[in-house]
A and B are shown apart, each in its own frame.
Chain A
Amino acid sequence: MSAALQTDFSVYVRPAEGDAVRMDLAIEGVDCAACLDDIEGSMRACAGLVSARLNLTTHRLALVWKPQETDAGVLVTALARAGYRAYPFEQSRVEAEEQKRAQWLLKCLAVAGFAAMNIMLLSVSVWSGNSADITPETRDFFHWLSALIALPACAYAGQPFFRSALAGVRARKLNMDFPISLGILLALTMSVVETALHGREAYFDSAVMLLTFLLAGRFLDQSMRRRTRAAAGNLAALKGEVAHRIGQDGALVALPVSALGVGDRILVRPGDRIPADGHILSGASEVDTSIVTGETMRVRVGPGTRVYAGTMNFDGALTLEVTAAGEGTLLDEVARLVEKAGEARSRYMRLADRAARIYAPVVHVTAAATLLFWLVAGAGAHDAIIIAISVLIITCPCALALAVPAVQVVASGHLFRAGIYLNAADALERLAEIDTIVFDKTGTLTLPDPNVSNAAALAPDLLALAARLALSSRHPLAMAVARLAPDAAPFEGAEEVAGAGVSVMLDGVEMRLGSAAFCASDAAAPLSSPDVSLIHLRHGARVAHIEIRQSLRPDARATIDSLRARGFDLRILSGDRLEAVVPVATQLGIEQAAGGIDPAGKIAAIEALRAQGRKVLMVGDGINDAPALAAAHASLSPITAADLAQAQADAVFLGERLAPVAQALDIAMQARALMRQNLGIAVIYNLFAVPLAIAGHVTPLIAAAAMSGSSIIVTLNALRMRGVVRSDARAARPSVPLALATRERRT
């Protein structure tokens, strides 16, 4: 039935120039330049196409076509024939805003760079002329020329700092941009006054150079964050969840999940994830709700039952009516808790802002004291003011303002390559302070999808046949078996009997995989543990019981051991029942494990840890974890987590392994050490520069050299950061999580 099914892309199609329309697609599996020719070439061969352009940075394809000559479905099919899966993609509001801001910062940087170069040209002439034979007229001319360039350039390129400083003042929170803005404005004012008085020295070059350095740092910081966000946006689109809507006439239309509206009727087939919250109109099935509650025991559902997005439908086809989250539902409760829990974290103050809070008053008091000192010492008012302002200029926190962003750029680059995407800008600093780690069990310590757990005890040839046969079924347990043979082709002529199993004739011998009754197998086969599901196999006279259970992430034990060895306090807080939690805790050697905890309980546990003065990292994936993720000092989610949980997490990690948790902490701690070093360097710089300025020896040449020197040292220091070990880079970076990839391949 899926072959004849039509996919409705209309929500993603937007009008373009003329009568053409446009759609953006996230493309899976673009990893080299050859894909560029492949994809654009195969698109150009389609009639009616106006343009196709693949963006290799974001892995997105922009298609423009004439709607009367072709349609989106044809184009996506053509892409699929070329071997690329494409998913309609809509840029999120946040991403669009970040892109706008990046363009703005780049424009400011261009203006500041242009001004800095031209003014430096004039300044060098003045500096060399001052020690030779420059005439005062020529010097004044050069100074006025510098002012002509510097004033408009600073008015334009300084906006990011001025606005942020103003916002800070309004909120009565002093940030780093305040001393920066003050320094720039004072330097410009003093230089204009000095120029008008035919003075020897002006600081136009310092003000503009400072802006250029800071804007470069800010732009890099922002573009790293943007790249992370684009990658995360693609992953969301690549999940590519499709819902099957039942139209007025009873026909099925496949459409992207985001296009579903309240009141739509949808069909959920066995083995599908339920795409939206709703209540069941007809059908009965078992549903795995582990992504919502952490509970691994499946729940029977029937007409009238409320089901949640993300849960897995097992046996029967269900017809749902989509509903919004209503009063009194679990989602409503979770959303309320999330809102409350996030408040504590928003009060967190960043390292740079804490530094600014100490720094700004000290510097301003020093400048005032310098002014008083020189007045008392008998210098004229003009000289005293010039010296006081030069103290402010030389201490203008160029190195200090770059100290943190420079490290942040390098660190988030390392995280990106390790398959960890940062959501929050201040997450690195919070991650570095962690001393206690709380894990959710289901989907976090264990893999999100169940796996065959007794493969070693079964005959390998029988298991290989079973895996090939399982490829013909959509049942989640069969899919776990099929994952053992990801590259095999399904048997021809295999037949699925709904609710029972699959069978095929092999060389005249029938092979069956499914329920005990279907395989005429021993229904009362002993279970090795209560959380195991059995799938039976019969091939002629041979019978096997395949055990399937939630298994631990492959490196869970090693990662937990290394975290414990490094002195972290490890705990498990699970929504699953205690009997299911205890075996996992024992296996990993975690003593503090609790089960059967609801979302409010998780928050309470985390608040209790916080009250003991601990900094808690929460690692979780379920909707029930979302409030705890928001409440904890820092939080991580696997990419397979529910959307609500991902939105609360500070960072999302890819892949099947748990190692990214340790890597994220590693990189964050290194980053914090480097940030502190950089702040130290900035302080040492000031220890040398400030006495010189107080003594009245700072000339524009010294100011320019000191500022660029300290900025470069701070940036180089940030580049010293080591990345994570690269040997596991491939394992950590599949373009789609493994579990999802397997599912996609077979649909």
Chain B
Amino acid sequence: MNVLIYLVPIALALGIGALFAFLWSLKSGQYDDVEGTAWRILSDEDLPE
């Protein structure tokens, strides 16, 4: 069971990483307009002319 010694920290680190990624996305306002974001991806406005 020695494999747990490094597998468990890796699993936890991944989980915490995902949690912080979510908190960052929340803070940067990515959840303010969930409807608009869905449509924005279809917009060509940001393409270089």
Q: Which residues of A contact B (CB under 8 A)?
A: 33, 36-37, 40-41, 54-58, 103, 106-107, 110-111, 114, 117-118, 121, 135, 138, 141, 145, 149
A54-B36, A58-B33 known; A33+B42 contact, CB < 8 A: yes
A40-B45, A110-B19, A145-B8 known; A57+B33 contact, CB < 8 A: yes
User: Nearest 4 A-B pairs (CB), nearest first?
Assistant: A56-B36, A33-B39, A55-B33, A114-B19
Q: Which residues of A contact B11 (CB under 8 A)?
A: 118, 121
Query: How distant is A12 from chain B, measured CB to nearest CB, in Å?
Result: 20
Query: How distant is B32 from chain A, measured CB to nearest CB, in Å?
Result: 6
Q: How far is the CA of A55 from the CA of B39 in the complex (A)?
A: 11
Q: Which residues of A contact B16 (CB under 8 A)?
A: 114
A55 pairs with B15, CB closer than 8 A? no
Query: How distant is B3 from chain A, measured CB to nearest CB, in Å?
Result: 11
Q: Which residues of A contact B42 (CB under 8 A)?
A: 33
**Which residues of chain B from 23 to 49 have any CB-CB distance to chain A below 8 Å in the complex?**
23, 26, 31-36, 39-40, 42-43, 45
Excluding A114-B15, A145-B8, 14 further A-B contacts by CB distance (< 8 Å) are A36-B39, A36-B40, A41-B45, A55-B36, A56-B35, A57-B32, A57-B33, A106-B26, A106-B31, A110-B19, A110-B23, A117-B15, A118-B12, A135-B1
Q: How far is the CA of A508 from the CA of B43 in the complex (A)?
A: 54
Q: Which residues of A contact B23 (CB under 8 A)?
A: 107, 110
Total contacting residues, chain B, CB less than 8 A: 23
A37-B43, A141-B4 known; A57+B36 contact, CB < 8 A: yes
Q: Which residues of B contact A111 (CB under 8 A)?
A: 19
The reply to whether the CB of B18 lies closer than 8 angstroms to some CB of chain A is: yes
Identity of the chain B residue whose Cβ is nearest the Cβ of A44 in the assembled complex: B45
A41-B45, A110-B19 known; A138+B1 contact, CB < 8 A: yes
Q: Which residues of B contact A (CB under 8 A)?
A: 1, 4, 8, 11-12, 15-16, 18-19, 22-23, 26, 31-36, 39-40, 42-43, 45
Q: Which residues of A contact B39 (CB under 8 A)?
A: 33, 36, 56
Identity of the chain B residue whose Cβ is nearest the Cβ of A137 in the assembled complex: B1
10 contacts between A and B (CB under 8 A): A36-B39, A37-B43, A56-B33, A56-B35, A58-B33, A107-B23, A114-B15, A114-B18, A114-B19, A135-B1
Identity of the chain A residue whose Cβ is nearest the Cβ of B8 in the assembled complex: A145
Residue with the highest number of chain B CB atoms closer than 10 Å, among A41, A114, A138: A114
Q: Which residues of A contact B36 (CB under 8 A)?
A: 36, 54-57
B33 pairs with A103, CB closer than 8 A? no
A103-B26, A114-B15, A114-B16 known; A36+B33 contact, CB < 8 A: no
Q: How far is the CA of A41 from the CA of B1 in the complex (A)?
A: 60
Q: How far is the CA of A659 from the CA of B43 in the complex (A)?
A: 39
A37-B43, A114-B19 known; A57+B26 contact, CB < 8 A: no
A103-B26, A135-B1 known; A36+B43 contact, CB < 8 A: yes
Query: How distant is A137 from chain B, measured CB to nearest CB, in Å?
Result: 8
Query: How distant is A116 from chain B, measured CB to nearest CB, in Å?
Result: 11
Name the one of A36, A118, A135, A141 contacting B15, with C-beta atoms under 8 angstroms. A118
Q: Which residues of B contact A114 (CB under 8 A)?
A: 15-16, 18-19
Q: How far is the CA of A121 from the CA of B18 in the complex (A)?
A: 16
Q: How far is the CA of A135 from the CA of B3 in the complex (A)?
A: 15
Q: Which residues of A contact B22 (CB under 8 A)?
A: 110
Q: Which residues of B contact A58 (CB under 8 A)?
A: 33
Q: Which residues of A contact B32 (CB under 8 A)?
A: 55, 57
Q: Which residues of B contact A145 (CB under 8 A)?
A: 8
Query: How distant is A152 from chain B, measured CB to nearest CB, in Å?
Result: 11
A138 pairs with B33, CB closer than 8 A? no
Q: Which residues of B contact A55 (CB under 8 A)?
A: 32-33, 36
B19 pairs with A57, CB closer than 8 A? no
Q: How far is the CA of A106 from the CA of B8 in the complex (A)?
A: 27
A57 pairs with B34, CB closer than 8 A? yes
Q: Which residues of A contact B40 (CB under 8 A)?
A: 36
Q: How far is the CA of A114 from the CA of B22 in the complex (A)?
A: 10
Q: How far is the CA of A57 from the CA of B32 in the complex (A)?
A: 8
Query: How distant is B27 from chain A, measured CB to nearest CB, in Å?
Result: 9
